[in-house]
Chains A and B, each alone.
Chain A
Amino acid sequence: SQTIHQWPATLVQPVGSPLSLECTVEGTSNPNLYWYRQAAGRGLQLLFYSVGIGQISSEVPQNLSASRPQDRQFILSSKKLLLSDSGFYLCAWSWLGEKLFFGSGTQLSVL
């Protein structure tokens, strides 16, 4: 069966520090991969999605970036975090853009 792993579960980082959140999927090949940010009152905001290795589509201009170095690995990064980057980050996968399967999320607090 397929599983999705996302870590860390919580992260506290100072303003200006770098960020790296990792997401991996097991049990499937060539999944579509997604990064969302969940914030109170703003719902689920699509940040990035990828349909293949090295293929990244960005939805929201910001100081975050995403990379897909391997088929089942999706990384969310930042060179310098801002206070406004605080939030709950969710990774998800789907097969050909169908039903989404979500990870357990990362609560990021930028202080």
Chain B
Amino acid sequence: AQRVTQPEKLLSVFKGAPVELKCNYSYSGSPELFWYVQYSRQRLQLLLRHISRESIKGFTADLNKGETSFHLKKPFAQEEDSAMYYCALRSDDKIIFGKGTRLHILP
């Protein structure tokens, strides 16, 4: 069965420090993975997807099939990064999410 695991409910990081939000998945096929973000009082929105291999707002995520992981990273946290982050996996037309991690950037 497909599954997305985000082990941390809350992650507090000082401004300027590196950020890593963990995501592990369980999927028998070739996965397509995403990170979504929800800022305060805004709609949930796509941050990045692994097939694009892009950096958005300084965030990157690399798919590691050996470790079945898709961790989200940023070298230097900014206060505006405080938000709820969800990892998602697409299986054909079905898209499932992890439980989310709240990132809190400390001043």
Chain A interface residues (CB < 8 Å from chain B): 32, 34, 36, 41-46, 49, 51, 57, 59, 90, 92, 94, 96-97, 99-100, 102-105
CB B38 to nearest CB in A, in angstroms, measures 9
Chain B interface residues (CB < 8 Å from chain A): 6, 9, 34, 36, 43-46, 49, 86, 88, 90, 92-100
Set of chain A residues within 8 Å of B45, measured between Cβ atoms: 102
Set of chain B residues within 8 Å of A46, measured between Cβ atoms: 94-97
CB B34 to nearest CB in A, in angstroms, measures 8
CB A28 to nearest CB in B, in angstroms, measures 15
Set of chain A residues within 8 Å of B6, measured between Cβ atoms: 43
Main secondary structure of the interface of A (DSSP, over half): strand
CB A69 to nearest CB in B, in angstroms, measures 19
Contact assessment for B44 and A97 in the assembled complex, using a CB-CB cutoff below 8 Å: no
Some 11 contacts from A to B, beta carbons below 8 A apart, are A34-B95, A43-B100, A44-B44, A46-B95, A49-B93, A96-B93, A99-B34, A99-B46, A100-B95, A102-B43, A104-B43
Given A41-B9, A44-B86, are A100 and B94 neighbors across the interface (CB < 8 Å)?
no
CB A36 to nearest CB in B, in angstroms, measures 7
Q: How far is A43 from B46 in the complex, measured between Cα atoms in Å?
A: 16
Set of chain A residues within 8 Å of B36, measured between Cβ atoms: 100
Q: Kindly name the residue among A43, A45, A96 whose own CB sees the greatest number of chain B CB atoms within 10 A.
A: A43
Q: How far is A34 from B94 in the complex, measured between Cα atoms in Å?
A: 9
Given A90-B44, A100-B36, A103-B43, are A43 and B99 neighbors across the interface (CB < 8 Å)?
yes
